[in-house]
Structure 1
Amino acid sequence: MSISAATLTHDPMARTIQHELTPVVSSFRSWLSWLPSSVVSLLVLGLIGLVAALISRLATDRILMRIPGAKRGAFVRSFTRTLRGPVRLTVVILAMSLALPACGLHGDLLDTVAHLLLMSFVGVMGYGSFLTVRVISDAYLTRFSETDQDDDILARKHATQVRLLRRVAEIMICVLTAGAELMTFEPVREYGLSLFASAGAASLIVGLAARPILVNLFAGVQIAMTQPIRMGDLIAFQGDWTWVEEITSTYVVLRSWDWRRRIVPIAYFLDTPFENWTYNSAELIGAVYLYVDYRAPMEKLRSKLEEIVRSCPQWTGKDFSAQVADCTDHIMIIRVTASARTAIRSWDLRCEIREKIIRWMCEECPEALPRTRFAMTPTEQSAAQPPLGMTDPPFKPGQPAPEHPLTDPFSPQAAPAMPQPATAMPHQKAFRPL
């Protein structure tokens, strides 16, 4: 509502200030009697605002900014440093409003100046409330800034709640401030009252038009309360590793491992199932699969794997196992599990295990490397025919051995024969895998 001269006159404080300022204003107006009375009144009002600004600056810079203390004093100094602008404007507006009846303004000019002061006061109060929410939330989040939020679930929970609720509060402050500014105008106030009187159809139309915004806004409040995701959570999103980098009132920013950002509506995390790898704890168990030969010495291999895992700084010491998880007709599969504090450290741990165990098998245990075997077995025809040389006649000792046609390179019978069909080859061998 607008401030009128009658309203200010009935205020006891306004009457007191007017009584104290009337002699000062009268003497000042006598010095500037050659100017129009309205100009003199505005100059007096500006002078009062300037004096109030100097007093507020003295109070903030000389008193509040020098409060000692490492924690509470630091908070007061930070709070004063952030809000000294709105505080000074508030003091100036209040001083000018209280001194307005003593300035000699009348009629429409008085109502116009009072309305401007009221609008300024509403705007400054809204801006001050906006900054207050930010200062308090930042001071609360400072408690968790020094902790490792990758492992501290409580810190990430509070950070998510405070950030989401702060954005909701900022939106509400902006909406209420704009509504209060509009309500200072008489036509708008009457229209607003008429809308409230018949709010059924109007609220339905506004609700349908703003449905996407309202859905995401209420989803943000629900996520802040139920915490399905938090700041810094590791989420499996569409086949990629993604981290929750930012949660706003309407969308979530997901950062993938290659630094790409994905903007997802916040309502998605209430309507669609997803994997949160850090919901209760950031600790994960990583698995490494090794494909080794059947002749691999399992006990020796298990001992070496345990030695490798224990030497890795990423291992937490809680879980380790090396077991034959499966086997095929050529190899057996060994599954190695080891725990790590975070998913990134689990990835680094698994890569280090693979690298070291492969190097060790190549240098120290080559029989563990997978290989493919083939066996040569005779066919039925070659098995029925005696081997070459068994039908030759025996010879006596001391006599030269008869030259076999196939062993004499200069014999005409040693010439290469014409190729024969595969079924006519007497010494054909068959290959089969072991």
Structure 2
Amino acid sequence: MKRMGAWWRRWLLAASMLLVSSLCLAQTQEEGGEREWYPIDSLNSGLGKAPGSVNLRTPRESMRTFRDLTDRGDFEAAAHILNLADLSPAEQRERGAELARQLAAIFQRGKSIRISNLSGRQDAAIEDPTGESPHAGEPRRDIELASLEADGDTYDIRLGRYQRDDEEPVWLIMPESVAAIPALYREYGPTAFERHIPESLKGSFGLLRIWEWIAIPLVLLAVALVGKGVYRLIEVMTRWLPSGAPSIFAKQIRGPVALIVMSLLTQALLDYVVSFSAVATTTLRVVLIAILAWGTGAVGLRLVDTMMLKMTRRLAGQIDDSKPQDDRKLLTTLYAVRRIIILVLVTAVSIYVLGQVQLFETLGLSILASASVLAVLVGVAGQAVLGNILSSFQLSLAKPIRVGDLVMFEGQWAYVEGIFYTHIRLRLWNERRLIVPVTYFASKAFENLSSKSTKEYRSLALTLHLSADIPILREKFLEFAKAEENVIEHHKLLCCVTDQIGPAQTVTCYLMTIDPLSGWAAEVSVREKLLAFIRDEHPEWWPRDVVVISHRDIARGHASGDEGNDAQ
């Protein structure tokens, strides 16, 4: 009996647990169904019955209905798309149409809603054919239409799904968003200028209103005239500035400063004077920010260029390896800073523009799906350019060469005149310029004659007869070499016989000079003086051939002469 009672108790306990689990599951499912919408007791009772043209079953149909009604000016019907639960029935009748009109203006100026991107399902469930989204297929009871800023605060405009009693659920602008309409309208509503525009010009024509097609060109023309005036004003100011770096800098920033003023002026007009539709305003703001960023970066670049020019002029006009290494290192660093400014400028403007146009949000998942293919294509197409850019930064950091270094590149003497993003500019000894891609230059072996020290050991060779007196020649060499200004370390002067072939000997003289170019000049000067000394004082030292004539050759010559006489 005890065993039977224990068995019954276990069976009852299991049955109770199963019953509780079933009740919890049923309650959970019921709550899950309630989460698909917001239950309400009444809906816009002050507005009366909604017209038959009002369709609120899906987010897409609700916003399409709101757009069509506001475009026709039927704001009383459009008020049925707003959930006016926070207002009394009397306030709903009084303010409903006005709030709908204000919201339409906010959408037109502040945020253009792409109705085709809204969900066409009644439950607004997230559709993800790829199955990668963890929330795919889940119903939603509210979605965000826009997020706008006004008076330093951020307001969200959202659609919510509501159900009254057993009626079909509908999608409405949520009460929290309705409460934010007045603040957003003060920010994005029409300005005082627009209130004086005739009603006949406020109709839509394509993406813009009629008056906007007229006002936008006039605004751009007025801004362009202001920019031209700023350009001329700076041009006049350059004549008052002292010659040199200040006037050069002012002359170079005429265009960027004019564009900056034009951008700021247009921005002020959009904020305080006139406001266009969201499409035009968004496009203009993106372009203005891009111009402002480019102009600011261009002014910074012109400043760096002016500093580089001033430094180059201070270094006697042309940079070469005879100038102090600190100055040449600074100039090389300025070139690197110039490239960094360009890189930061392009990156910042690109990120901002992409963020403003909301590229991925607009084009959707198709862009994400093709991003890898686009990256591969860009990588292949721009491989050479990217390689040159990376190589230029590598040269700037490692500094195997500096601006002003004298290098021996592919058998030619050249000074490094500039290190840019994609190429290096070399100044050849004959004042011609050699443009070399950075990757090509970095992949080739080159001799940096200015890497540690600019001084160079040079030599000159003379071919003389064996009878030449070497001590006398050595004495003259020392005399001529010590007289040269660019010859240093006189204890390293050397003159000796380095080769001998037949009756001739090769005499080589060595001298240390302060730099390769001066060394070449000293070498040719000493050679000319030695040759003049030998020509004037010891012409017998010139190499000569010795011809030995035998008696038989003499007799043969006489015989040839006699035969010639007989013939005559």
TM-score range, shorter chain: 0.5 to 0.7
Equivalent residue, structure 2, for 1:112: 279
Given the superposition, is the C-alpha separation of residues 36 and 195 from structure 1 closer, same or farther in structure 2, using an over 3 Å criterion? closer
**Which amino acid is the alignment partner of residue 301 of structure 2?**
R
Instruction: Please state whether the residue corresponding to 2:454 is helix, strand or coil.
Output: coil
Secondary structure, counterpart of 1:145 in structure 2: helix
Q: Does 1:336 align with 2:509?
A: yes
SS of 1:370 mapped into structure 2: coil
Q: Answer yes or no: is the 8 Å Cα contact 1:52–1:95 preserved in 2.
A: no
Structure 1 residue 361, shift from structure 2 partner: 0.7
CA contact (8 A) 1:310 1:317 kept: no
1:346 aligns to what? 519
Conserved in 1, the CA contact under 8 Å of 2:336 and 2:393? yes
Distance 1:247 1:192, change over 3 A: farther
Within 5 Å, give how 1:157-196 maps onto structure 2.
Answer: 157-167=329-339, 169-171=341-343, 173-174=345-346, 176-178=348-350, 180-191=352-363
CA-CA distance at 1:130 after TM superposition: 3.5
Whether 2:140 is the aligned partner of 1:11: answer no
User: Does the 8 Å CA contact 2:227/2:262 hold for their aligned counterparts?
Assistant: no
Partner of 2:313: 145
Counterparts in 2 of 1:279-298, with a 5 A limit? 279-298=451-470
Q: 1:143 to 1:210 in 2, by over 3 A?
A: same
Paired residue type of 2:475:
S
Following the alignment from structure 1 to structure 2, what is the Cα–Cα distance between the partners of residues 281 and 189?
A: 59
Tell me, in whole angstroms, the C-alpha distance in 1 between the residues paired with 2:499 and 2:200.
Answer: 104
CA gap of 1:350–1:68, structure 2 versus 1, over 3 A, is closer
Q: What is the CA-CA distance between 1:97 and the residue it aligns to?
A: 2.9
Partners of 2:364 and 2:474 in 1: how far apart? Answer: 78
Select the residue among 475, 483, 490 that pairs with 1:303.
Answer: 475
Uncovered stretches (5+) of structure 2, i.e. residues with no partner: 1-107, 112-145, 154-181, 203-208, 552-557, 560-568
**What SS does the corresponding residue of 1:135 show, helix, strand or coil?**
helix
Alignment root-mean-square deviation, CA:
4.9
Preserved CA contact (<8 Å) 1:288 1:350: yes
Task: Report the Cα distance in structure 2 between the residues aligned to 1:350 and 1:158, rounded to whole angstroms.
Answer: 32
Q: Per-residue deviation at 1:131?
A: 0.7
| 1:376–1:222 Cα change, 3 Å | same
Alignment of 1:36 with 2:36, yes or no, is no
Residues 64-79 of structure 1: pairs in structure 2 closer than 5 A: none
1:24/1:377 CA distance change after superposition, 3 Å? closer
Structure 1 partner of 2:541: 368
Counterpart CA distance in 1 for 2:488 and 2:200 is 84
1:12 deviation in Å? Answer: 5.0
| Gap regions ≥5 residues in structure 1 | 379-414, 417-434
Q: Which residue of 2 aligns with 1:431?
A: none
1:34 shift after superposition: 7.9
Question: Are 1:122 and 2:289 counterparts?
Answer: yes
Helix, strand or coil for the counterpart of 2:297?
helix
CA displacement at 1:88 relative to structure 2: 0.6
Q: Distance in 2 between matches of 1:146 and 1:318?
A: 32
After superposing the two structures, state which structure 1 stretch, 201-210 or 261-270, moved more.
201-210
SS class of match (2:264): helix
Cα distance in 2 for partners of 1:50, 1:315 equals: 67
Q: Secondary structure at the match of 2:493?
A: strand
Please give the alpha-carbon distance, in whole angstroms, between the structure 1 residues aligned to 2:537 and 2:260. 76
> Once the two structures are superposed, what CA deviation does each residue of 1:342-371 show, in whole Å capped at 9, x if it has no partner?
333222221121111111111112343334
Q: Which amino acid aligns with 2:384?
A: P
Q: What's the TM-score, normalizing by structure 2? A: 0.52
Distance 1:333 1:118 in 2: 79
- Distance in 2, matches of 1:78 and 1:283, equals 41
**Structure 2 Cα separation of the partners of residues 11 and 48 of structure 1:** 28
State the Cα deviation string for residues 282-323 of structure 1 (Å, max 9, x = none): 332321112233433333322322232233344356675132
Secondary structure of the 1:236 match is strand
Distance across 1 between alignment mates of 2:216 and 2:388: 51
* C-alpha deviation, 1:267, in angstroms: 1.6
User: Residues 423 and 435 of structure 2 are in contact (CA less than 8 Å); yes or no, is this contact kept in structure 1?
Assistant: yes
Mapped contact 2:407–2:413 kept (Cα < 8 A):
yes
CA shift in 2, pair 1:348/1:79, >3 Å? closer
- SS of equivalent residue, structure 1 residue 291: strand
The reply on whether 1:265 has 2:437 as its aligned counterpart is: yes
Partner of 1:87: 260
Per the alignment, do residues 277 and 200 of structure 1 end up closer, same or farther by CA in structure 2, a change over 3 Å counting? same
CA 1:3–1:145 in 2, change beyond 3 Å: closer, same or farther? farther
- What secondary structure is seen at the aligned counterpart in 2 of 1:338? strand
Local SS of the residue matching 2:314: coil
Query: Contact 2:415–2:428 at 8 Å: present in 1 too?
Result: yes
1:97 and 2:270 aligned: yes
Q: Number of aligned pairs? A: 369
Q: TM-score, normalised by structure 1?
A: 0.66
- Cα offset for 1:91? 1.6
The amino acid across from 1:247 in the alignment is I
1:33 to partner: Cα distance: 4.4
Task: Give yes or no for contact 1:244–1:254 (8 Å, CA) kept in 2.
Answer: yes
Q: Read off the aligned partner of 1:147 and give its amino acid letter.
A: L
Which of 1 and 2 has higher RCO (CA within 8 Å, sep 6+)? Answer: 1
Structure 1 residues 40, 238: CA separation in 2 closer, same or farther (over 3 Å shift)?
closer
Q: Deviations over 1:31-50 (max 9, x none)?
A: x6487246667759967995
